[in-house]
Amino acid sequence: MTRYLIEGGAPLKGRVRVSGSKNAALPLIAATFLTDEECVLHDVPDISDVRVMLSIAEDLGSTYTFENNTLRIRTPEVKSSEIALEKARKLRTSLMFLAPLLHRTGETKIPFPGGCNIGKRPIDSHLNALEGLGAVVHRADDLIHLTADGFIGNLIRIVKLSVTGTETALLAAAAAEGETQLRLAAAEPHVQDVAKVVQKMGAQVEGIGTNVVTIQGAKKLTGFEHRVTPDYIEAGTFVIAGLVTKGNVVIENIDVDHLDVLWEYLDQMGAKYELRRDAMEVEVFPTDYLSHVDRVRSGVYPDFPTDLLAPMAVLLTQCDGISRVFETVYESRLNYTIELEKMGVKTEILNSHEAIIVGPAKLQGNPVASWDLRAGTAMVLAGLAAEGKTEVSNIYWIDRGYERFEDKLTALGGTITRIEEDA
């Protein structure tokens, strides 16, 4: 079990560059399967989820090089339309191969996918979209078995405004005959990135960034070159890291318009920061007094991202007064508050969606666990702000989504060391 040892208490200082988005890069790797031509993706984060996705792609017939965050990938022929169980179980985005495999081979069998342990994660949005575009579902239990004799454009309502469900629909619609209209489409920056890529591949897409997206399928989808959108969750994580350690940090490669609700909450707290839209930078300044926020509520984009709620909860521990976090997307994603209690924070889980956090708390270093990717990151932020030593276990979760996390924090003056199992 690899863990981090953190010596807290030092304000972070300096500049940090945000990597390309995990949640854009993963579906874009699957998108490359829609064509037999070469596809080039820049700014692909070198994280374990990307490596798993690439190894699935290789099993299915791709050849690729991945150097300095540039991925050159080509799948001249699809060798198999089935994904191995142990790989599918590792990540939910194995689902993203459904549409491309159906397009290329007319059939696919994918084991029910895995992913972060954050509540029920059904796949009806994917199946509903694929069925609507002409696929036939034969099984959808522990194994998903689909066939399709070509996709046909249609009107699709995306179940629960699902993010990856919308991406599956975009990939299928790009390859479909005729026009598809997606209603209740998710609009997150990574979904927009997938839409931009299918456009580069030859589909015509209107309404990118809105909840109604119209796609005119292309007869033949082509290769493309694309720079992955900056990871707005990583960006927000570093903004919070700077503020919670009372540091002075410049976050580079950030699209400030992706995080409007974060800025709104920071204004309510009285946090000092400066947005530089054209330079794609944000600078956070040491802020001694932060006021509580009545309720920080997650929601679908452009609302506050669920993936940033755990890091935000750590910042709320430093705010004066009682704040409330309200998780609307998942029903069991508040366990990190139990870990925060171990570090001296007064919190209470009110129900499966809501918790209160009493601040300002004097964070004390302690052994804590990562419950999922974002909860693990939150523990690292708490450790950096705490007095004394914090040990964060199960950090394989963090490796799934943050590129060189400890290197970036060390460059900002944080004291954080990776301890391997046998060390």
The helix/strand/coil state of 417 is: strand
Contact pick of 12, 18, 25, 26 for ligand EPU (by CB under 6 A)? 26
Contact between 146 and ligand EPU by CB under 6 A: the answer reads no
DSSP structure class, residue 118 = S
> Which tokens go with 386?
């705490």
Contact between 162 and ligand EPU by CB under 6 A: the answer reads yes
Asked if residues 168 and 205 have their Cβ atoms less than 8 Å apart, the reply is no
Contact between 145 and ligand EPU by CB under 6 A: the answer reads no
In sequence order, the β-bridge partners of residue 182 are 156, 213
Question: Cα(408)–Cα(371) distance, rounded to whole angstroms?
Answer: 22
Give 269 or 375: the residue with its C-beta nearer to ligand EPU: 375
Q: Which span (156-164, 216-224, 237-245, 380-388) binds ligand EPU, by CB under 6 A?
A: 156-164
Contact between 120 and ligand EPU by CB under 6 A: the answer reads yes
Give 299 or 321: the residue with its C-beta nearer to ligand EPU: 299
Candidates 99, 116, 191, 213; catalytic one: 116
Contact between 135 and ligand EPU by CB under 6 A: the answer reads no
> Which tokens go with 120?
């029920």
The CA-to-CA distance between both ends of the chain, in Å, stands at 10
Instruction: Report in angstroms how near the CB of residue 320 gets to ligand EPU at its nearest.
Output: 29
Cis, bond preceding 27 (omega within 30 deg of 0): no
> Which helix (H) or strand (E) covers residue 3, if one does?
strand 3-7
Contact between 140 and ligand EPU by CB under 6 A: the answer reads no
Distances (CA, A) of 87 to 52, 312, 386, 423: 7, 31, 37, 28
Question: Cα(423)–Cα(412) distance, rounded to whole angstroms?
Answer: 25
> Could you identify the residue written with the tokens 């459904």?
98
Question: Which amino acid is present at 154?
Answer: N
Contact pick of 124, 149, 274, 348 for ligand EPU (by CB under 6 A)? 124
Give 160 or 277: the residue with its C-beta nearer to ligand EPU: 160
Kind of pairing, strands 354-359 and 321-326? antiparallel
- Site size with ligand EPU, rule: CB under 6 A: 25
DSSP string, 234-262: HHHHHHHHHHHTT-EEEEES--GGGGHHH
Contact between 116 and ligand EPU by CB under 6 A: the answer reads yes
116 is catalytic: yes
Compose the 360-389 pattern: x for residues touching ligand EPU by CB under 6 A, - for all others.
-------------xx---------------
Q: Which span (36-44, 64-72, 97-105, 113-121) binds ligand EPU, by CB under 6 A?
A: 113-121
Torsional sign, CA 227, 232, 233, 236: positive
Give 189 or 223: the residue with its C-beta nearer to ligand EPU: 189
Compose the 188-227 pattern: x for residues touching ligand EPU by CB under 6 A, - for all others.
--x-------------------------------------
**What residues are annotated to the active site?**
116
- Contact set with ligand EPU (CB under 6 A): 23, 26, 92-93, 116, 120-125, 159-160, 162-165, 190, 306-307, 329-330, 373-374, 401
